[in-house]
Amino acid sequence: MLQLIQSGEFVNSRVGRFLQDLRQKFEGPVVVDMLCYLRLYTELALRAKGVLMMRENGLDTPVGERTRAKFEELSYLETSIGKTGILAMRPFLHMTRKDLWQLYVIG
């Protein structure tokens, strides 16, 4: 997902087309926040998995200020997007209980 967002092909992807369709239901700035949310959530999920793997192998990796700042930004974006927007993006977030737990562990 992260590579897709950073590539020029995002607009033609399933997620990109979905966000374009959302422009009819949400204001432009909210759709931009949705894209930022998807990117940030994906970054944090990857970070969480990396930290957990390191901890499983006996390496205690501290969570830095940058990661904490990303969680604060994620919280801001959730407020900006609203519950309906978060629900609309749910198919692309892959939020399982395990993922949420992993995000919580590093936060």
Interval 64-71 mean pLDDT: 86
pLDDT at 97: 64
pLDDT at 82: 94
Confidence of residue 22 (pLDDT cuts 50, 70, 90): confident
Confidence of residue 11 (pLDDT cuts 50, 70, 90): low
Tell me how far apart the alpha carbons of residues 60 and 54 are, in angstroms, rounded to a whole number: 7
* Residue (of 91, 106, 80) closest to 19 by Cα position: 91
Confidence of residue 81 (pLDDT cuts 50, 70, 90): very high
Residue 41 or residue 100, greater confidence: 41
Mean of all residue pLDDT scores within the chain: 81
